[in-house]
Structure 1
Amino acid sequence: MAQNSEVLAPIGAVHRTQVGREATEPMREDIRLLGAILGDTIREQHGETVFDLVERARVESFRVRRSEIDRAELAELFRGIDSRDAIPVIRAFTQFALLANVAEDIHRERRRAIHVAAGEPPQDSSLAATYAKLDAADLDVDSVAEALAGALVSPVITAHPTETRRRTVFDTQHRITELMRQRATGDGSAEIESELRRQILTMWQTALIRLSRLKISDEIETGLRYYQAAFLEVIPQVNAEVRAALQHRWPDADLLARPILRPGSWIGGDRDGNPNVTAAIVRMATGNAAEVAFAHYFVELTALERELSMSARLVRITDEVAALGQDCHDAARADEPYRRAVRVIHARLTATAVEILDRRPDHGLDLGLPRYETPAQLLADLDAVDVSLRGHGSAPLADDRLARLREALRVFGFHLSGLDMRQNSDVHEEVVAELFAWAGVHPDYAGLAEAERVELLLGELATRRPLTGGGAGLSELAVKELDIVRAAARAVRVFGPDAVPNYVISMCRSVSDLLEAAVLLKEAGLLDAADERPYCPVGIVPLFETIEDLQRGASVMRDALALPLYRALVRARGDSQEVMLGYSDSNKDGGYLAANWALYRAELDLVEMARQTRIRLRLFHGRGGTVGRGGGPSYDAILAQPPGAVRGSLRLTEQGEVIAAKYAEPRLARRNLETLVAATLESTLLDTEGLGEFADTAYQVLDDLAGRAQRAYAELVHQTPGFVDYFEASTPVSEIGALNIGSRPTSRKPTTDISDLRAIPWVLAWSQSRVMLPGWYGTGSAFEQFIADGPNPAEGVEVLRELYRRWPFFATVLSNMAQVLAKSDLGLAARYAELVEDVALRELVFGKIQDEHRRTIVMHELITGQDDLLADNPALARSVFNRFPYLEPLNHLQVELLRRYRSGDDDERVQRGILLTMSGLASALRNSG
């Protein structure tokens, strides 16, 4: 991190990244500057001894990359290191990772600006490129209107144990980004560098993470910060621009009556395996979100009143605006009709906030006026102001702040974002069984066969009577579950139906699993099926997670929709049914290739089910940040969906450090939100699969490959004796729970079975140890066996190459796998394997991992024809080359501290050091869990 940072000596980088030195020099210059300032800060704050240790670690890490020294020599540098010295070294490399993220983001902006300035065509994944493709397709207006009816793109923010950065660090990093952005425009003034030094000093002197266990309230705050940082500004802009662009192309179609971009959240509503979610937490999550929305509106109304200063002596107004302002009796505003109208709007919104929020709002205005009952009433008043401005020569004013406020209200309402509820089907079964026993409906619901369960549940749903009343002697679990659902019902009543749009059923395996959730919604007053026009503002969403569940998901939905009562509920929601697909558990269950193909097959089956039952299907993709949990470039992933799987609607989870990487500030957020919308429009309106008559053959090949991959994966994970012991010893998975990382336990149940372990710690642990096993294992064996078992090996290779050339799904699977392999490092993984005391077990399992890793890389090169794993991703190639030597010390220090912690060293600094290394590696890898 000194001035001669070796990041500026990219040996072979031009060949590996296929990007010339001239193109990447500005980024390296940024990294050099930030690294040098960080190094100066460390020297000033801790002296030469600590600085020299950090610098030596850096230099030795680059020597490892150049194969000048063995890794064991670098590991020896940290063996026996005093924990007081280890902490600043860990913090140094962690903070460098954060600063490198800034440099890379600025460089991407710089490159895009160069492309635009050169007059080059817009890049794929931008809305401009998508519009050009739509124009070239000459689409029929009726088909466009039908395809985009009910269009929705919804990134759903979820919690993640490695996203533990405090708000101060988050804000400081944002200020550094702004300063580097100014510098990138050519402003290299001394003032900017001085301010960079102040910000980096602030970040260095601020604790990166909390020492106490992360609470759900902390996670709620973390999720909401992205609204203030970017979403409140960017989402309304994108919605308005997309609507205008589509309506310009198809003016006769009533497109996007509702905003297409509508964000969601799981934080505070997802109680699957998280006992810390309570009714109070649901109220906090929905209430805090609403407060963010109202605070934004009050700030905007205050500014709007200040700006609309027109005098009645100089402008005319509509009768509606004149009537609206009559309740403002401020003499100073007697001649300012628009200010009077805005003050009345402000006062009525204040009355709304006072009544529905748990805390009195800032910037309120009390005029003793009645509240708005719905956001639509508020919007109607703002629309009246808009009409008056446009009708009397003030359209430019209507197009400014007022337009942004109206657009924000359309998407954020009084609720800000929809909070999904989620619980495991096993819990539903237990609670419903208890409710039925208490009410005398049936003494042993759990003992019934599926058909008997369905009959009993339908009978209960057809009545309005409650199952319980005051004083019911229910278990703690049943009371808690009912209270949570009632808290959700309160949010719907107070903030509107968009406040809690969905109830997700984890591990959904049957029709009764759907109906059990419906019974709980009915008990809370959120469902009434006893009327000709059923009421259910909350969608019942099955989550199919394991490979077996994915395979039978369409059958479950077909059976449910055959029930008149359930079909009536779906009809009441516009014949729309959402289904969630679980990427994480399917991967943990069957491995990377098998899970990806099971998901694709499930989507094909669900699309056909929707066609046959004449419903509108919306798929909700439970993607994590890492490829092992469905991650990877969003644009490619959406285009790789089967035909008919998107249909104008897409919901997907966004998690952890990936959220910060995508949405931490407006420019990043705009680019990534555009990508989601662009891909959704293309997948909906264009043929993106491209297989044609080759589809059946392709599907048969993938059926074969997936079966082989799943067997290879199962042989290691599920059938190798001692594998769980190896996993627990060779990764920090135990410490993820023991060191209170995240607000939820690492397992759904208190067992050590892989099936019960939550997907985030499963993937996170393999990422930390640099094996990245969930993102590739089994795939190499599948390809090798497929080629070897065919009648002609050369023909088998050509079949796979043809799939790679023609099929976006297959190309994306290989590209994402290559990214994971590029980030893996089995040399470092070997250091973690040394934590396994059973030598025979260590050699057995790690030997299998090494063999499959080598095999998978060979097969990737054979199929793609590329000897560079990142040939199709030069940006990631630059990132890997520039920053990965800085990860090396974090991995070695993590292994050293894990060894001490497990041997009984109870030094608080050892525990803090492990937590810091986890956070640092997650920040550097940017998609670790």
Structure 2
Amino acid sequence: MPTSQPSRVHARFEMPAPLRADVRLLGELLGTVLKEYGGQELLDDVEKLRELTIAAHDDDHERADQAAAACEELVSSWDIERADNVARAFTCYFHLTNLAEEFQRVRALREYDTGDAPVRDSLAAAVAEVTAQYGEEEALGLLSGLEFRPVLTAHPTEARRRAVASAIRRISTLLAQRDDSRLGAGELAENERRLLEEIDVLWRTSQIRVTKPGPLDEVRTAMTVFDDTLFQVLPQVYRQLDDQIAGSKAGTQPPRVPAFVRLGSWIGGDRDGNPFVTAAFTQKAMAIQADHVLRALERVCERLGRALTADAETTPPAPGVRRILADARAAYPDLAEDVATRSPGEPHRQVLLLAARKLAATRQRDADFAYANAGELLRELRTVQSSLHAAGAPRQAYGELQHLIWQVETFGFHLAELEVRQHSKVHARALAELRAGGDLSPETEEVLAVFRVMAQIQQRFGPDACRRYVVSFTQSVDDLAAVPELARYALDGRPLALDVVPLFETEDDLRASIGILDQALELEPIQRRLAETDRRFEVMLGYSDSAKDAGPLSATLALYEAQAALAAWAERNSIRLTLFHGRGGALGRGGGPANRAVLAQAPGSVSGRFKLTEQGEVIFARYGDPIIARRHIEQVAAATLLASTPAVEKRTANAAEKFAGLAATMDDAARATYHRLVRSDGFAEWFARVTPVEELGQLPIGSRPARRGLALSSLEDLRAIPWVFAWTQARVNLTGWYGVGAGLEAVGDLDALREAYAQWPLFTVTLDNVEMSLAKTDARIARGYLELGDRPDLAEQVLAEHARTTEWVLKVAGHERLLENRRVLGRAVELRNPYVDALSYLQLRAFRALRTQKLSEGETERLRRLVLLTVNGVAAGLQNTG
């Protein structure tokens, strides 16, 4: 039986030598761990399945079919314990491969950033391009209004346990150390011993959480991104661009780059469908955030204060600095004397050391010594900065001190703007009770408590800390009017800065949005808030439910049309509109490269501002490593800047107009094909049988329930995340491509489609994302899942549309094989797929038994555990969940 002969596929996607060496080393060390744990027999079984899955991807179809049959026979021959161990082995392999690939990305980015010219897709390159086209004044004007607002969410799409993630980080650190050319043989040997130790820990750590995380667990997990990455990375992003603009004057003059990133969070504030997020949890979430940022600012003030030893003789303080110190002596004589004694004749240093003490008091709620708000700290820091500049020390004024100022401007004392979200129906029920009078239900009391907590948070940290209230399933102007009315009931006239954000989720809601917003402008609370905010208004667009409702292609076109209509509405009403994109990590939920998505937005819909949700595994993929985080932030910010220029807006508008007829034809055919499937009689029950959606509901990966109802009787009961997650696990990936082939075929004119692919950014991005989704689909394995539903009619619809979509995407893109023009991504997908197959065969084996056999309670429990274990592995292998 052929096993390990390399195919032409693998020859096409050769690994870079350093990555190949890393993967080989980690694989060999994992093999050592497996042999130590389970003997040579376990390692042999893992190797046998690995070789068969590679052979199943041979270009010779007969050989591939034989190998695939051998895979199924092999996994069926194992007892559950052996199947568990093999599944764990492949899951650990993917964790190790993922970290090796991430480190290779870091290597590549470092190599990329070696020349004098701005890096491609960087913010500096975008500013240079705008300057060349429109002049420096226009470029700096656009830059001054730039906003990038990533919003972290707790949606359950991170399948890894925190203990597993910690082990992976330790292994990653050890792997990175091996790149140090100064290490001797002894140090490398010790490094390898420690790698073995940590890989052994990874192997012995359960991949499955025992309990579901609570909302505060999710808050603390997200804080690791702030602590490890964002706090340091964001001032580096600002600094790199400012240095490019300033040239030889870098670090000696006031910065030209504003702090344009504002972090948001739904973690602890999003209560839509999550009964565990209460007002008390929202308050605790903000307390955790504040503690992290105040500690971070305190450490920086202390560090800078100890380093800023400029003497009053060489660097005389301005009156503002002397005033701060005089006020401190009057209010806190003992502390001021202690700081002065430790730093005699160093007034600037004294101010920063006092600031560190005041930040500690703020964190500890010591009202006598605490800052009232972040603005007070900013005023003191700017006073020190201007004093240093006036004293002839501009490098001290605009060096590390400017980094601290940027950090305070970016994070304040609250770290992330905590946003509240609730379903419109919950508000309607609460208002009905309140208007009727009498005793209130606990649910209504909870609704009112949220507004009181928002007011308390604003009182301590300022309005920006918690002022946005997102209304899920906004379907009428009453849904928006309900929020300020509920706030009045809760607060009895006490002040609350409240920005009501409509969330339009389904296709019908998107189409109705303009009428609803026209009526909203007539509401007195909305009018008042517009006057207070220079006519700023925010609208959120839901990618997940619109795609579940209409299919991926029709949802994409509907969202584009909605954005264009909203941009025109904002211009008519002199509104400074921010569109909030509720995107997921998976392609079926608006995922894909964010910078390319920005450049494909409707003209006028960006205007220098881009806001999106960042969820689950995407948070750590984009922000877990400092170098990768910096690159991602720069790419999105650069795209936001360019998308706001007249040239890009005109090109996008012209393309949309030129291909409107083509889009309408595709839309009609794709929608009809999608609805024909999902609206078939018995579809929801069939979906529950052919995917592990029910088992996913048992996977403790997030605090929010997987569905709104008790049983999966219709797709409306199911949340978008498990809808996508389940199809991904079944290797169908239906949510990323279904109906696209029908749409392309309906147009039929290949020249016209290729012209659209070349000229229309939205169509280009859409088709490229579909191609990536198809590359992660495996029709042979998918058929095994689909056959479990006893509905050959539905199974054949799916497989036929997959074949049609693959054929047409390849024709339009001009490719012979999927991802042939995306070397890095293509290599990763092609090399991973056989190993993902190994886990899929194991999952399918357990899945078949659960669906078709009468089992004892113990057998059922063991098989479900195997399913959940393989879920983690497939998610790690495909690097997608929901």
TM-score normalised according to structure 2 size: 0.91
Q: Which string of whole-angstrom CA distances, capped at 9 and with x for unpartnered residues, describes residues 539-571 of structure 1?
A: 111111111111121221122224455333222
Match of 1:180 in 2: 175
Instruction: Read off the aligned partner of 1:161 and give its amino acid letter.
Output: P
Alpha-carbon distance change, 284 to 81 in structure 1, aligned in 2, over 3 angstroms: farther
Structure 1: distance between partners of 2:464 and 2:595: 27
Structure 1: distance between partners of 2:633 and 2:644: 17
Give unpaired runs (5+ residues) of structure 2. none
Q: Which string of whole-angstrom CA distances, capped at 9 and with x for unpartnered residues, describes residues 501-534 of structure 1?
A: 3111111111111111222233344988xxxxxx
Alignment of 1:883-894 (within 5 A): 883-894=832-843
Does the 8 Å contact 1:579/1:619 carry over to 2?
yes
Match of 2:351 in 1: 341
Match of 2:815 in 1: 866
Instruction: Read off the aligned partner of 1:700 and give its amino acid letter.
Output: G
Instruction: Read off the aligned partner of 1:560 and give its amino acid letter.
Output: A
Match of 1:204 in 2: 203
Give secondary structure in 1 for the equivalent of 2:174: helix
1:715 to 672, 676, 683: 676
How far apart are residue 204 of structure 1 and its match? 2.5
How far apart are residue 813 of structure 1 and its match? 0.6
Structure 1: distance between partners of 2:201 and 2:515: 57
How far apart are residue 435 of structure 1 and its match? 1.2
How far apart are residue 123 of structure 1 and its match? 5.2
Instruction: Read off the aligned partner of 1:58 and give its amino acid letter.
Output: R
Alignment of 1:467-866 (within 5 A): 473-525=439-491, 537-563=497-523, 565-688=525-648, 690-691=651-652, 693=654, 695-718=656-679, 720-751=680-711, 752-787=713-748, 796-836=749-789, 838=790, 841=791, 843-866=792-815
For the aligned residues, what is the CA RMSD?
A: 2.8
Give secondary structure in 1 for the equivalent of 2:152: strand
Match of 1:157 in 2: 152
Alignment of 1:142-291 (within 5 A): 145=141, 150-184=145-179, 186=181, 189-242=188-241, 259-291=259-291
2:137 to 141, 150, 153: 141
Higher mean C-alpha deviation, range 427-436 or range 389-398: 389-398
Alpha-carbon distance change, 24 to 10 in structure 1, aligned in 2, over 3 angstroms: farther
Structure 2: distance between partners of 1:712 and 1:83: 40
Structure 1: distance between partners of 2:121 and 2:26: 30
Instruction: Read off the aligned partner of 1:802 and give its amino acid letter.
Output: E
Give secondary structure in 1 for the equivalent of 2:707: coil
Structure 1: distance between partners of 2:833 and 2:214: 31
Does the 8 Å contact 2:470/2:501 carry over to 1?
yes
How far apart are residue 425 of structure 1 and its match? 1.0
Match of 1:416 in 2: 415
Structure 1: distance between partners of 2:787 and 2:176: 44
Does the 8 Å contact 1:422/1:504 carry over to 2?
yes
Match of 2:48 in 1: 56
Q: Which string of whole-angstrom CA distances, capped at 9 and with x for unpartnered residues, describes residues 548-606 of structure 1?
A: 11112122112222445533322222201111111000000010100000000000100
How far apart are residue 316 of structure 1 and its match? 3.4
Does the 8 Å contact 1:156/1:651 carry over to 2?
yes
Does the 8 Å contact 1:317/1:392 carry over to 2?
yes
Give secondary structure in 1 for the equivalent of 2:149: strand
TM-score normalised according to structure 1 size: 0.86
Q: Which string of whole-angstrom CA distances, capped at 9 and with x for unpartnered residues, describes residues 365-396 of structure 1?
A: xxx95221110101122223333344445444
Alpha-carbon distance change, 813 to 38 in structure 1, aligned in 2, over 3 angstroms: same
How far apart are residue 115 of structure 1 and its match? 4.3
Q: Which string of whole-angstrom CA distances, capped at 9 and with x for unpartnered residues, describes residues 319-351 of structure 1?
A: 433443444122444454344323321222222
Alignment of 1:76-87 (within 5 A): 76-79=73-76, 81-87=78-84
Q: Indicate the percent of aligned positions where both proteins have the same amino acid.
A: 37
Match of 1:329 in 2: 337
Alpha-carbon distance change, 616 to 143 in structure 1, aligned in 2, over 3 angstroms: farther
Does the 8 Å contact 2:146/2:260 carry over to 1?
yes
Does the 8 Å contact 1:155/1:264 carry over to 2?
yes
Give secondary structure in 2 for the equivalent of 1:56: helix
Alpha-carbon distance change, 398 to 713 in structure 1, aligned in 2, over 3 angstroms: same
Match of 2:17 in 1: 25
Does the 8 Å contact 1:62/1:885 carry over to 2?
yes
Alpha-carbon distance change, 308 to 910 in structure 1, aligned in 2, over 3 angstroms: farther
Structure 1: distance between partners of 2:436 and 2:257: 47
Give secondary structure in 1 for the equivalent of 2:788: coil
Alpha-carbon distance change, 131 to 315 in structure 1, aligned in 2, over 3 angstroms: closer
Does the 8 Å contact 2:418/2:466 carry over to 1?
yes
Alpha-carbon distance change, 293 to 244 in structure 1, aligned in 2, over 3 angstroms: same
Give secondary structure in 1 for the equivalent of 2:581: strand
Structure 2: distance between partners of 1:826 and 1:435: 55
Alpha-carbon distance change, 114 to 402 in structure 1, aligned in 2, over 3 angstroms: closer
Alignment of 1:869-908 (within 5 A): 869-900=818-849, 903=855, 905-906=857-858
Q: How many residues align?
A: 852
Does the 8 Å contact 2:52/2:67 carry over to 1?
no
Alpha-carbon distance change, 229 to 526 in structure 1, aligned in 2, over 3 angstroms: farther
Structure 1: distance between partners of 2:391 and 2:38: 65
Does the 8 Å contact 1:536/1:569 carry over to 2?
no
Structure 2: distance between partners of 1:258 and 1:111: 28
Does the 8 Å contact 1:518/1:527 carry over to 2?
no
Match of 1:354 in 2: 364
How far apart are residue 735 of structure 1 and its match? 1.1
Give secondary structure in 1 for the equivalent of 2:178: helix
Higher mean C-alpha deviation, range 215-224 or range 399-408: 399-408
Does the 8 Å contact 1:273/1:749 carry over to 2?
no
Give secondary structure in 2 for the equivalent of 1:914: helix
Structure 2: distance between partners of 1:142 and 1:302: 39
Give secondary structure in 2 for the equivalent of 1:880: helix
Structure 2: distance between partners of 1:708 and 1:924: 33
Instruction: Read off the aligned partner of 2:585 and give its amino acid letter.
Output: G
How far apart are residue 901 of structure 1 and its match? 5.0
Give unpaired runs (5+ residues) of structure 1. 357-367, 439-471, 529-534, 788-795
Alpha-carbon distance change, 143 to 126 in structure 1, aligned in 2, over 3 angstroms: closer
Structure 2: distance between partners of 1:756 and 1:553: 23
How far apart are residue 803 of structure 1 and its match? 0.9
Give secondary structure in 1 for the equivalent of 2:613: strand
Structure 1: distance between partners of 2:856 and 2:116: 61
Structure 2: distance between partners of 1:785 and 1:302: 66
Give secondary structure in 2 for the equivalent of 1:355: coil
Alignment of 1:329-478 (within 5 A): 329-330=337-338, 331-355=341-365, 370-392=369-391, 394-438=393-437, 473-478=439-444
Structure 1: distance between partners of 2:436 and 2:547: 38
Structure 2: distance between partners of 1:633 and 1:134: 22
Higher mean C-alpha deviation, range 481-490 or range 273-282: 481-490
Does the 8 Å contact 1:293/1:416 carry over to 2?
yes
How far apart are residue 695 of structure 1 and its match? 3.7
Structure 2: distance between partners of 1:232 and 1:858: 46
How far apart are residue 399 of structure 1 and its match? 4.4
Structure 2: distance between partners of 1:809 and 1:315: 56
Does the 8 Å contact 2:131/2:138 carry over to 1?
no
Alpha-carbon distance change, 161 to 102 in structure 1, aligned in 2, over 3 angstroms: same
How far apart are residue 311 of structure 1 and its match? 5.0
Does the 8 Å contact 1:640/1:688 carry over to 2?
no
How far apart are residue 55 of structure 1 and its match? 2.0
Structure 2: distance between partners of 1:226 and 1:927: 19
Q: Which string of whole-angstrom CA distances, capped at 9 and with x for unpartnered residues, describes residues 748-798 of structure 1?
A: 2334210221000000000111100011111111221232xxxxxxxx222
Alpha-carbon distance change, 835 to 618 in structure 1, aligned in 2, over 3 angstroms: same
